[in-house]
A and B are shown apart, each in its own frame.
Chain A
Amino acid sequence: AQSVTQLDSHVSVSEGTPVLLRCNYSSSYSPSLFWYVQHPNKGLQLLLKYTSAATLVKGINGFEAEFKKSETSFHLTKPSAHMSDAAEYFCVVISVVNTDKLIFGTGTRLQVFP
C-alpha cells in the first residue's frame, strides 16, 4: 500500500537559517508527490508538485524539494526561514489505484524563532 511518512512532527528553526522538512514515500510505481502548507486557521495551499519531470522542483515562497528515487524521499527545503513560514506542512502522494485519492502524511509543524 502507498504511504508517506513525515519523519518529524515538529521542527524549530531560527529566522534566516535553513529549513529541512523530511518526507519518505512508499510506492511501487513512480509516484506523483506534493507538498501543501497550512497556515493557522487557513485551508491548504499547494507549495510544489513532482510529476516525474525534473527531480528538483521549485515551489512558491522560495521552497524547493528534490525527488530521490534511490532514497524514496521528497524532502522540502528552504535556504533561509522567514517568520511567515511558520505553519504546518503536509507531504502528499497520489494514489496509483485512484488518482482522485490524495494520501497525506501526518504533518510537520514548523516554528520559526526570531
Chain B
Amino acid sequence: DVKVTQSSRYLVKRTGEKVFLECVQDMDHENMFWYRQDPGLGLRLIYFSYDVKMKEKGDIPEGYSVSREKKERFSLILESASTNQTSMYLCASRPTGFRNYEQYFGPGTRLTVT
C-alpha cells in the first residue's frame, strides 16, 4: 500500500513566520507534488518535482518554494507566511511510467496564518 504522510495535520503560524510543510512517501516514487485546496476552487498545483533536487513551478508558485534533497521527502516552504496562505495543503506522489497518471495523496495539513 502506498503511503504518503505529512508532518502535521493542523498548524497555526503568525504572519511573517517561515513555515515548513514536510511530506514523505514510502513507495520510491520519482514524482512528488504540492497542492493547496480552497473551498470552491478545487485543488491547485503549487510545485512539483521529477527527481531529487529537481523542481517545477505549478499554477500558483508565488510565495512558496520547495526542497527535495532525498527521493522520499518533498518540503514546501512559505518564506514569509501571509493570511492569504491559510489553506489546506496536500502532498501527492506518483511513479514514473507509461500511463501511470494516478497520484497518491497524503492526509493534508490545515494551515492557519494569523
Q: Please give the number of chain B residues whose Cβ is less than 8 angstroms from any Cβ of chain A in the complex.
A: 26
A73 at the interface (CB under 8 A from B): no
Which A residues lie within 8 Å of B42 (CB)? 90, 104-107
Instruction: Tell me, rounded to whole Å, the shortest Cβ–Cβ distance linking B72 to chain A.
Output: 17
A-B contacts at CB below 8 angstroms, number: 53
- Cβ A106 vs Cβ B102 within 8 A: no
Within 8 Å by CB of B101, from A43, A94, A104, lies: A94
B45/A49 in contact, CB under 8 A: no
Question: Chain B 46-83 against A: per-residue CB contact (8 Å), 1 yes, 0 no?
Answer: 00101000001010000000000000000000000000
Please pick, from A46, A99, A104, the residue contacting B43 in the complex, using a CB distance under 8 A.
A104
- In the complex, the chain A residue whose C-beta lies closest to that of B96 is A100
Structural contact, B4 and A43, CB atoms closer than 8 A: yes
A104 to B106, CA, bound (A): 17
Q: In chain A, what residue has the closest Cβ to B101?
A: A94
Would you give the shortest CB distance from A69 to chain B, in whole angstroms? 19
13 contacting pairs across A/B (C-beta < 8 A): A36-B105, A41-B108, A43-B108, A44-B92, A49-B102, A90-B42, A99-B101, A100-B48, A101-B58, A104-B43, A105-B42, A106-B40, A106-B42
